[in-house]
Amino acid sequence: MQTGKTIFKKIIDGEIPCTKIYEDENYLAFLDIQPVSRGHVLLIPKKEYLWIQDMPDNEIADIFIKAKFLIQKIKEALGCDYVQLGIVGKDVPHVHIHLIPRYFNDNLPQSPQKPYEPGEAEKVAEELRSVL
């Protein structure tokens, strides 16, 4: 766990510059400095949460409603075919959603895949069902 301010908190506080595309009282959206594609945006809540499951349900709903709004605007501005969302959280310990403009012919990978070994899928499903 990181101690002190995260890079996103420093951006929110104006200590580190960013290329903002949207800001309101609860959210900030800015261009990713290591973009997967042109127009790759990060959407963050101004309130700090480590993981999305740490957020109250209403705030999870709000951030995805904001993401939907930004997706529509990204598509309008850049003419992309769709916007891929990514929520990882490993690189910066502050909830963030990647909004990645995509084109059907861009040849970018979707997500890494790792097929199940024979019989493994049912075992994993049983483990998941046991806690649901």
Q: State which residues form the domain around 20.
A: 7-129
Helices (H) and strands (E) counted in the chain, each on its own, are 3, 5
**Would you state the pLDDT for residue 3?**
61
For 57, the 3-state DSSP assignment is helix
In a domain, 2, yes or no: no
Asked whether the predicted pLDDT for residue 110 surpasses 90, the reply is no
Residue 94: active-site member: no
Strand-pair partners of 85: 99
At 101, list the tokens: 């403009």
Overall pTM > 0.75: yes
Query: Which pLDDT tens digit goes with each residue over 27-57?
Result: 999 999 999 999 999 999 999 999 999 999 9
**For position 68, which CATH number holds?**
3.30.428.10
Q: Which of 40, 94, 96, 98 is catalytic?
A: 96
Counting the structural domains of the chain, the total is 1
In a domain, 57, yes or no: yes
In a domain, 64, yes or no: yes
Q: Using the structure block, give the residue that is written with the tokens 């490993």.
A: 90
In a domain, 1, yes or no: no
State the CB neighbour count (10 A cutoff) for residue 8.
22
In a domain, 65, yes or no: yes
Query: Which pLDDT tens digit goes with each residue over 62-100?
Result: 999 999 999 999 999 999 999 999 997 778 999 999 999
